[in-house]
Structure formats: C-alpha cells, structure tokens
Copies of this chain bind each other. A is one copy, B any other.
Amino acid sequence: MSSPGKRKLNFALAINEALTQMLESDESVMLIGQGVKSPWYVGNTCKNLIERFGEKRVIDTPVSENVTTGAAVGVAIAGMKAIVVHPRVDFAVYAFDPIINQAANWFFMSGGRSTVPVVFWLIVNRGGEQAAQHSQSFHAFFSHVPGLKVVAPATAYDAKGLMIAAINDKNPVVFLDERWLYGVEDNVPEEIYEVPIGKGIVRREGTDVTLISFSWLLHQSLKAAEQLAQQGINAEVIDIRSLKPLDEELIISSVKKTGRVVVVDGTWKFCGYSSEIISLIMENGGIDFLKATPLRVNLPDAPAPASESLEKVYYISTDTIVNSVKSLFSK
C-alpha cells in the first residue's frame, strides 16, 4: 500500500474509486446509465460496481436516455442520491427535458420543498474520427441554465473529489469529463474527500499573463506555459474546474495581477464559456487593469469533422495557445 497522499491513480480509476466508496458508504447512492456493466463502454470507470453493489443499485439501461435521466431525477426526488451516466454527452440531448426543464427548475418550482441530489455525468468525446454527433460539448449551455451546478475536472484528484462533492450536493450537478483525460495520472488520496464545488485553483503561478482553462485543455495550457517560460513569458495558469458556481475572485485577482488574459476553452466560441469569463473580467474593472486585449481560444465555429486531417486543425494545440499568448506581447 502506498502512503497516504502519495498514491498515483489515473483519472478513470479515480472516478471508479469515488463511485465505489460512495456506493459503499452511503446506501442511498445509486448509479444508472448505459454501459455501467459493459466491459468497454464507459472505460473502466464502472469496473466491478455491478458485481459489488448489485443490480438494484447499479443499473445498466436500454438506449432510453430520456427516461433513464428522468428516472435518476425521480430517484433523487424520492430521497436517494442518483448518478446517471451518458457515455457521450451528445446522447444526453434526448434527455434535456429532465435535465433542463425538470431538475434545474425543480427546487425553485417547489418553493424550496423538494431537492434533487442528482449527478448528470456526461462524457465528452473528442477525436477518433467519430465526427459531429459524437464530439459535441455543451458546457456553456449547462452553465447558462439556472439551478444547475457544473464541474469539469482535469486531474485524477479532482475527478474523485468533485464526483464525491457532486454526489453529496443537494442540487443537480452536471459532471463533465473527457475520455482524453482517462489516462491522466496523479496523486489521489485513498480516503473519501471532496473538492469543493465553486472553487478554482491556480495550477501554476505567474506574473505576465493568466491562462484560464479547464478539463483536458488545462494540460495543454500548462504545457504552453512551460514553453512560454522558455521565451521569457511567465504565465499563471488557472483551472476553473467548477464552471458554475464560478470562483470569480480567483479569476479577477489573478488577472488584476497579470493584466493579461487568455481563456482556453475547448468548446465553441460564439456564446461559449470563455465569453462569460471575458465579460466577468470586464464587469469587474477590466478596463482599468487590463494591459492587453483579453483573448479567447476556442474550437472553430463548426461541427466536429471525422477525418484526422481536419481533426488536427479542429482541436486546440499547445502551439495555438502559445501563439495566442505571444500575440499579446508582440505589440
């Protein structure tokens, strides 16, 4: 056994551990979704759960995203804690009624009399020539809708801690991860712990520019920061990780310090998540403390293509981030 705090675990197994420990320690927890008993469908995030906790608490489902999701909401309304997983967020589009119309509004519509402790765990795919209907991400929309919390971990530590926090939260939480993250490995404590929803984190301190990112692109942003350091630009890198509620203070104070900001957001640009960050900075006096135009790095305004030659230019590379930052210093 590794000593506490020193054990390495990958992202997928960190989720698996969060689920295992929560199912183990709290008998009101249930997991529902397509593929939870499949040998390949949700990576190894659900390994051994059905064997261990039985078919009444861990439920693989037909291809019925709408009722599956609504049932998870109903499980929560009935006093249990539900996690519902969709192996691709695109499939959850069928289930936007229970997510948007029902769960998000529920506590408010009931005058505060009924809570919905449900986790909508939606997995984002990118690449693999899977094309437009298997590569979308709706972070901005989920964040837009009042009543939903939204988290997007980038590390194995946060994957476990945010999943546990999401399960324990009384509100519906959208947990967005990406398959590209499943191999990311870092220190993950063996015990149950929460990463607080609503708190971002500075992943790298710097003085010249703030890179704001989340999920897979955090790692690209960190790499970009290393490259930039070699070119004399000392970048601070923030991992938002809680998309809503957002840790506004962390962002504002960093950008106040550096005076420059690039938001690195792996989703579409127009009305996207990064535009909220820019607007927030401006509303908080950006006009006084910004030394350069605040920039957004996003996907192009297009559906995801299949062919690798197009995927290569569609997805965001470290180079794009580096060049974007450098453009702030060139004039």
Contacts and interface: CB of A to CB of B under 8 A. Distances in A.
A47 B43 CA distance: 54
A143 B271 contact: yes
A178 interface: no
Nearest to A299: B146
A275 B290 CA distance: 18
Contacts of A180: none
Contacts of A133: 101, 105, 109
A104 B136 CA distance: 12
Given A94-B97, A144-B140, A279 B275 contact: yes
A285 B275 contact: no
A132 B108 CA distance: 8
Copies per complex of this chain: 2
B271 A146 contact: no
B295 A283 contact: yes
A101 B90 contact: yes
Given A143-B271, A271-B272, A105 B303 contact: yes
Contacts of A294: 279, 282-283, 287
A144 B303 contact: no
- Among A105, A138, A244, A285, which residue has the most Cβ atoms of chain B within 10 A? A105
B296 A104 contact: no
A40 interface: no
A65 to B, nearest CB: 9
Contact of A141 (B108, B271, B293, B302): B271
A13 to B, nearest CB: 31
Contact of A93 (B100, B273, B279, B305): B100
A147 interface: yes
Given A93-B96, A275-B271, A275-B279, A292 B287 contact: yes
A184 interface: no
Nearest to A246: B270
A146 B303 contact: yes
A131 interface: yes
A91 B285 CA distance: 39
Residue from A138, A146, A246, A274 having most chain B Cβ neighbours under 10 A = A146
Nearest to A284: B293
B144 A270 contact: yes
A55 to B, nearest CB: 29
Contacts of A90: 101
A276 interface: yes
Given A100-B136, A144-B271, A275-B275, 10 more contacts: A105-B133, A140-B140, A140-B144, A140-B271, A143-B270, A244-B270, A271-B275, A278-B282, A282-B282, A287-B293
